[in-house]
């Protein structure tokens, strides 16, 4: 039975925790240092409220200036709805991501590293260094943010035409919304790129196979800890998908403040939100689970193979009753080892988590579009 190993100060495990804390920052790759210092806290709710306060205050000032102190009307009213959605939904994402960061580190500390070796921790550090050294990881947030910002302004132009074609080339509220869209897309992609880290933990399991249970390796504490980490990330991405698709509610305010049911902006943002939340989240989950399952199966097959020679010898020469009893025990043990190594792809579990969350959203989209579309 695998016993917890202590992570001594200065060990490879302590170094791995330090690397993760540095990489994660406040909220999975996004640093909110000014808010932390101002409110003297790293709690999920205080950080979310702090962002809401500053973003909301800046948005209110911009809307007031863009409308010369008058109530917003026409296309400016639609921009109010878009800015308000940004100001409200992003604090929710901050809270969820902060909770994910805390939970992930807690799982690594309590459910993974105590049952792993320093060799495993070193392998994870190496895999993380290779992962985050990729140019894609560093430059993807900038590219996605630029494309998202440009596409958002382009696809919303018809609905805000009186603002878009005003004699002022860059209305203040439109500029604020576009800049906020770029910033939020950039920060979201930073989270997406940072949240690829479970791949490194799953890939490094091969270096620590000796820590697995010899009879039921799929039930080993280290394997269970890795599975718990994967499930945590998958549930997080499902919740993020629901938060992002809440933009569909902007159809409800009506003609003045609401978006059209056939808005090109909605048709672009919602699929992109699904791609970069549930899509990539499910891909990381399934890839990580596949790597864990492959290691567990190889280990169980190696253990079972060691019994094959003895079983074959007893089958060739049954001998007395003691030999027959030994053959029965070895055969039973062999079957237990094989059964205990069936970790599986977990695809069914992934679907069972995703579908209950996405189907109501799909129904809401269909209801909104179907109920508000013209003949």
Break the chain into its structural domains and give their ranges.
12-372
Listed residue (60, 141, 146, 43) closest to 97, CA to CA: 43
> Which pLDDT value is given to residue 358?
55
Backbone φ and ψ for 30, nearest 5 degrees, come out as -110, 125
64 and 139 Cβ atoms separated by less than 8 Å: no
**Angle at the Cα of 107 from the Cα atoms of 340 and 124, rounded to 5 degrees:** 80
**Angle at the Cα of 299 from the Cα atoms of 295 and 302, rounded to 5 degrees:** 140
Listed residue (295, 241, 250, 294) closest to 271, CA to CA: 241
199 and 288 Cβ atoms separated by less than 8 Å: yes
pLDDT of residue 151 exceeding 70, the answer is yes
Least confident range from 76-90, 119-133, 269-283: namely: 269-283
| DSSP secondary structure, 159-224, as one string | TTHHHHTSSSSS-HHHHHHHHHHHHHHHHHHHHHHHTTTHHHHHHGGGGGGGGS-SS-GGG-HHHH
Counting Cα atoms < 13 Å in the Cβ hemisphere of 150 gives: 6
195 and 276 Cβ atoms separated by less than 8 Å: no
Residues 6+ apart with CB under 8 A from 8: 14
Least confident range from 15-24, 209-218, 308-317: namely: 308-317
Q: What is the pTM of this model?
A: 0.82
Quote the CA–CA distance of 269 and 330 in Å, as a whole number: 58
Q: Which of residues 245 and 146 earns the better pLDDT score?
A: 146
Q: How confident is the model at residue 9 (pLDDT cuts 50, 70, 90)?
A: very low
Length of the chain: 375
Supply 375's token pair.
Answer: 């003949």
Quote the CA–CA distance of 204 and 125 in Å, as a whole number: 9
Q: Which of residues 221 and 6 earns the better pLDDT score?
A: 221
Supply 6's token pair.
Answer: 């202590």
Q: How many helices, marked H, and strands, marked E, lie in the chain?
A: 14, 0
51 and 31 Cβ atoms separated by less than 8 Å: no
The mean pLDDT of 182-187, rounded to a whole number, is 91
Supply 92's token pair.
Answer: 């929710």
Q: Which alpha helices (DSSP H) does the chain contain, by range?
A: 12-24, 33-39, 44-66, 75-107, 118-132, 135-156, 161-164, 172-194, 198-203, 221-244, 264-274, 280-316, 321-340, 347-372
pLDDT of residue 57 exceeding 70, the answer is yes
Quote the CA–CA distance of 278 and 234 in Å, as a whole number: 8
pLDDT of residue 172 exceeding 60, the answer is yes
Round the average pLDDT of the chain to a whole number and report it: 80
> Which pLDDT value is given to residue 74?
76
pLDDT of residue 41 exceeding 60, the answer is yes
Distance of CA 38 to the CA centre of its chain: 28
> Which pLDDT value is given to residue 375?
35
Quote the CA–CA distance of 188 and 185 in Å, as a whole number: 5
> Which pLDDT value is given to residue 370?
52
The mean pLDDT of 114-122, rounded to a whole number, is 92
Least confident range from 121-130, 231-240, 289-298, 362-371: namely: 362-371
């Amino acid at each position: 039975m695998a016993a917890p190993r202590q992570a001594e100060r200065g060990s490879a495990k302590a170094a791995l925790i330090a690397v993760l804390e540095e990489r994660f920052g406040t909220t999975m790759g996004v640093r909110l240092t000014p808010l932390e210092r101002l409110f003297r806290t790293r709690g999920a709710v205080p950080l979310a409220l702090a962002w809401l306060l500053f973003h909301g205050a800046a948005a209110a000032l911009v809307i007031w200036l863009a409308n010369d102190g008058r109530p917003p009307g026409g296309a400016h009213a639609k921009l109010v709805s878009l800015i308000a959605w940004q100001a409200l939904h992003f604090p929710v994402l901050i809270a969820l991501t902060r909770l994910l960061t805390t939970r992930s580190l807690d799982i690594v500390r309590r459910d993974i590293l105590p049952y792993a070796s320093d060799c495993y921790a070193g392998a994870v550090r190496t895999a993380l260094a290779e992962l985050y050294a990729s140019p894609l990881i560093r430059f993807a947030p900038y590219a996605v943010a630029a494309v998202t910002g440009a596409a958002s302004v382009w696809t919303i132009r018809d609905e805000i035409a009186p603002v878009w074609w005003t004699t002022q080339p860059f209305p203040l509220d439109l500029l604020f919304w576009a800049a906020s869209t770029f910033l939020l897309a950039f920060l979201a992609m930073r989270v997406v790129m940072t949240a690829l880290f479970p791949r490194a933990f799953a890939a490094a399991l091969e270096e620590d196979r000796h820590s697995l249970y010899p009879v039921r390796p799929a039930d080993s504490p280290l394997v269970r800890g890795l599975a718990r980490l994967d499930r945590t990330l998958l549930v997080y991405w499902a919740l993020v998908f629901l938060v992002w698709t809440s933009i569909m509610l902007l159809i409800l305010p009506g003609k003045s403040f609401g978006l059209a049911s056939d808005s090109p902006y909605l048709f672009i943002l919602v699929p992109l939100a699904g791609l970069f939340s549930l899509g990539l989240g499910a891909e990381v989950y399934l890839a990580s689970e596949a790597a864990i399952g492959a290691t567990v199966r190889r280990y169980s097959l190696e253990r079972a193979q060691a019994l094959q020679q003895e079983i074959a010898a007893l089958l060739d020469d049954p001998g007395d009753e003691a030999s027959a009893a030994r053959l029965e025990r070895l055969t039973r043990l062999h079957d237990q080892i094989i059964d205990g190594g069936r970790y599986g792809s977990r695809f069914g579990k992934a679907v069972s988590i995703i579908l209950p969350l996405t189907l109501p959203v799909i129904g809401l989209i269909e209801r909104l579009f179907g109920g508000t579309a013209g003949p």
